[in-house]
Amino acid sequence: MAAALLVGLMAVAAVAPTSSEAQAAQSFKVRARIGWQQTPLNVSKGSEYSVAYKIGDWTVDYRNFEYVGPKGYPPSIDSQIYQGCKLNSNWPYARLLGKVGKNGSLFSVGGNSFSNLGDVRTFTASTNGSLYLRIHDADSCLGDNGGSITVNLSTGKEPGTGDSKSQALLAPVNNGVKLTVIHGYNDPPYEKQNPEVCSIATKRDHCANQQFGLDLTPGSGWDNKILAPVPGTPKEFVYGAGGPCLLFTLDDGLNLNICHFAKENTELLGKHVARGTVLGTAATSWIHLSLDARPKQCTGGWTFSNKKSSYPCPIEFVSPHTLEGKPLPSDGSVNQWKNTSFVSSNNELP
């Protein structure tokens, strides 16, 4: 017993492997009337693998509910279904779920960032083993299910090799948490109210990158941890109003500013980390993200009270650096992208 409706297909969060060393994609059909199904994909701890939505839909109750994609049912439909067959009460019926190894922890493959045919989700393996997939519906409730989802599976290089396949960002918080943009793009620094906020004598934090910066407020369920949104190397902590900022170098060389830490976690500095690594805890109720081409400098942009003539060249969150699969191009307006929401598909590594 269970259910699923609406043909909402699921969507992105990463880029498929492009390296010549990447494993060729393997097609696998996940059937709605079978529980955990072992795929031909074997992964190793710390390596990355991708799941791409190829075709298909399914239902958890073919008599009463329509067929949907791997995102699962929308809340309006999911709430009509008996809830006793769920494996996780936070996820809708008919969502595509995964785990690594027979005894691995289940995680959401489908979600708001996996909604359309061809969309790709990329994960970092937290353990060694085979990838297993299934529909979100308990084993005892599979009898009235119908349909199937076909996905393409692939693996690539170990992280840290310089392969740029994984530069798409996931949200920097635990899985399933909703984040909302409170300040985003062309939101000027408040120098008139407080001249010291962006008058940093030496290093620049997010003030110098607020042109394309995002302040994100996590909703309920956030454990206050800040996770690596992409594979990369924590390089240095610098001053930031509201808590230290971490300069985090992506594998393609760009700098990601992650701000508002409660304290500087220096143990990770200089070490390549996988997506989902806990970087520290937050000092505020929001997290700042911005990209720049540091050490490349730009002229123009914001004018600071200490009369700097140049600043780190800001980068928009567009392909291949989307956020939870959503490109965020600039249109030049003030506080663009404010109130935009994302649901985290990041998975905290043990």
Strands 341-343 and 178-184: what pairing? antiparallel
Q: Are residues 303 and 205 in the same domain?
A: yes
> Confidence band (pLDDT; 50, 70, 90) for 171?
very high
Q: Is residue 18 part of a domain?
A: no
Q: Is residue 13 part of a domain?
A: no
Residues 133, 203, single domain; the answer is no
Same domain? For 77 and 136 the reply is yes
173 and 302, same structural domain?
yes
pLDDT value for 302: 56
Give the rounded percent of residues in the chain with a pLDDT score beyond 90. 46
Q: Are residues 62 and 85 in the same domain?
A: yes
pLDDT of 196: 43
pLDDT at 189: 56
Q: Are residues 200 and 315 in the same domain?
A: yes
For residue range 138-154, what is the model confidence (pLDDT) as tens digits? 999 999 999 999 998 98
CB 79 within 8 A of CB 182: no
| pLDDT average, residue stretch 168-185 | 92
Q: What is the pLDDT of residue 280?
A: 96
Better pLDDT: 223 or 154: 223
195 with 312, same domain?
yes
Residue 350 contacts residue 126 (beta carbons within 8 Å): yes
Q: Which residues contact residue 349 at a Cβ distance below 8 angstroms, ignoring those fewer than 6 apart? A: 124, 126, 274, 276, 277, 278
Residues 88 and 136 occupy one common structural domain: yes
CA distance 124 to 232: 12
Structural domain for 128, as ranges: 26-155
CB 142 within 8 A of CB 34: yes
Establish if 19 belongs to a structural domain.
no
Task: Tell whether 104 and 37 lie within a shared domain.
Answer: yes
The model's pTM: 0.53
pLDDT at 320 over 50: yes
Count of structural domains within the chain? 2
Report how far residue 257's alpha carbon sits from residue 280's, in angstroms, rounded to the nearest whole number.
Answer: 14
Q: Does the structure show a pLDDT above 50 at 169?
A: yes
Region 163-188: mean pLDDT is 82
Q: Residue 279 corresponds to which tokens in the numbers above?
A: 């970087």
